[in-house]
Structure 1
């Protein structure tokens, strides 16, 4: 699962220069962004914000000196982007478990509000955020795993929760995202602000073959897949509303979910994860998130320094 920094840098450089081989990862290369930004992207100073999908939680090696609670990896997608663009200033304040509220207040002792890292000199900001708001991610994916044994082939989680999680995403997470993105723009009015969507965690349909690694009832798999689609659509809407750029991970990550074999997956399963937290991106997944960010922002190596 792990790649060396040199291999990652070479891969990201190839992607940035537009010579990536055709395939699933190039399927969403077309930009998708808000209406305010159509200029060349400057990449320095660069600030990385966000949650565990941004920090690459559990992926070794960790960033030396970073708060242990943040589980910040040197192989997260922000470090991969920085390896290509080589900004003169790069600040990574990503932190596992972060919510949009942690942009404004301390997430835990020794962890400053993430917005403290953003200044009026910042020119590029990336993040993945929103999945932890309202505790939707934990309550749904891990909560459903806890009750799946009651009906492996059915949909016990859907029966229990109905539209609870998607309602929370639409009615609560969306305004939180809008407020957080606006706050970033206010602190860095000249920055390109990119919010990266969540890669596909589950396939569109459940299978008994996947159940041992991802113990989600088969009927609940499409329900959770839909929930993630709703979350990503809300992230996209918030990006459009605030003039931010949305990095769509759905097309390129299809077929790389946690049910795939180790050689193919970008997301590690709940049972037996390799070099990543359960149900989180591995180093290959983080590299794919970096690649799509570079492609969809049309950033070339060393661009806009």
Structure 2
């Protein structure tokens, strides 16, 4: 990476302390499958579908409750995350290894003591993989939410975060995150050759342009900056899915009007201020249901 990207990473470390493992969100086509290659779940022998759920805190449902019984507390794995909901809707046999704070590297190595690499859950008998990953790589989300949130105090009506970071998030998405996600999807395909693989895009955290401080503590001009980088991330994930021939479940159209600035009951995202769980800028229960709906929409009818 160029020196600017190294500075981007260094500056982002501080944001992790403030942001509670944060992540972000969406572009492309509504709930569209970029590929329908691969067998239908459960088609191998007609038995119960073996589903594996992978990913980060958005996939784990961090901020929603109750937690999965006997799951590692550090993973903050919710029993109402979208992988869990898909399994309950269809009676699938679920192995959920999603975990808060996961990078794509967490698929290959232990994230915490006692938390195995997520790819270990896959095998030739896996019929369906549901997942969301990429937002934590290069500390992208913790920077866009944490650092941009802190910067707002210096110039709330301006764009102080954009002035500070410039195109460094975009560079990280293209040079680090997209290759990492594509590699991960290829390795998932190799580990689970018969599985239908669905990777979900991230729902919008902010509106397209309007700010809503203090609910979301991001400066007026940085709201669109955060959203553009969410769009770039989801585009990178979508292109990675297409390159590997797996299915992308996009949230960009469905999530419009459900960002963290919307009132309770309409928003799908926990706000930066006033979150009932204390976790911020993550999908709430309605957001997890919407993610499950998006994944359902690209799965073959059973």
Instruction: Tell me the TM-score normalised to structure 1 length.
Output: 0.85
- What is residue 180 of structure 2 aligned with on the other side? 176
> 1:263 Cα shift?
1.0
- What is residue 52 of structure 1 aligned with on the other side? 57
1:237 aligns with 2:242: no
3-state secondary structure, aligned to 1:49: strand
3-state secondary structure, aligned to 1:250: coil
1:73 aligns with 2:90: no
What is the number of residues matched between the two proteins? 269
> 1:84 Cα shift?
1.1
- What is residue 256 of structure 2 aligned with on the other side? 254
For 1:236 and 1:33, the matched residues in 2 are separated by 8
For 1:288 and 1:35, the matched residues in 2 are separated by 21
Instruction: Tell me the TM-score normalised to structure 2 length.
Output: 0.86
- What is residue 3 of structure 1 aligned with on the other side? none
Root-mean-square deviation over aligned CA pairs: 1.4
For 1:224 and 1:125, the matched residues in 2 are separated by 29
Query: Where in structure 2 are there 5+ consecutive unaligned residues?
Result: 1-28, 43-47
For 2:239 and 2:36, the matched residues in 1 are separated by 12
Please tell me whether the aligned partners of residues 100 and 129 of structure 1 are also in contact (alpha carbons under 8 angstroms). Answer: yes
1:282 aligns with 2:289: no
Stretches (4+) displaced over 3 A: 39-43
> 1:35 Cα shift?
6.0
Query: Where in structure 1 are there 5+ consecutive unaligned residues?
Result: 1-26
3-state secondary structure, aligned to 1:91: strand
Matches for 1:1-305 after TM superposition, within 5 Å: 28-29=30-31, 31-34=32-35, 36-37=37-38, 39-42=39-42, 44-87=49-92, 89-207=93-211, 210-275=212-277, 277-299=279-301, 303=302
Please tell me whether the aligned partners of residues 41 and 49 of structure 2 are also in contact (alpha carbons under 8 angstroms). Answer: no
Please tell me whether the aligned partners of residues 59 and 276 of structure 1 are also in contact (alpha carbons under 8 angstroms). Answer: no
> 1:276 Cα shift?
6.5
Write out per-residue CA displacement over residues 267-289 of structure 1, whole angstroms, 9 at most, x where no aligned residue.
Answer: 11111113462000001100000
Please tell me whether the aligned partners of residues 274 and 282 of structure 1 are also in contact (alpha carbons under 8 angstroms). Answer: no
For 1:171 and 1:251, the matched residues in 2 are separated by 26
For 1:47 and 1:35, the matched residues in 2 are separated by 19
Please tell me whether the aligned partners of residues 46 and 122 of structure 1 are also in contact (alpha carbons under 8 angstroms). Answer: yes
Please tell me whether the aligned partners of residues 206 and 217 of structure 1 are also in contact (alpha carbons under 8 angstroms). Answer: no
Please tell me whether the aligned partners of residues 115 and 184 of structure 1 are also in contact (alpha carbons under 8 angstroms). Answer: yes
Q: Label 1:233 to 1:56 Cα distance change in 2 as closer, same or farther (>3 A).
A: same
For 2:292 and 2:35, the matched residues in 1 are separated by 19
3-state secondary structure, aligned to 1:46: strand
> 1:72 Cα shift?
0.3
- What is residue 6 of structure 1 aligned with on the other side? none
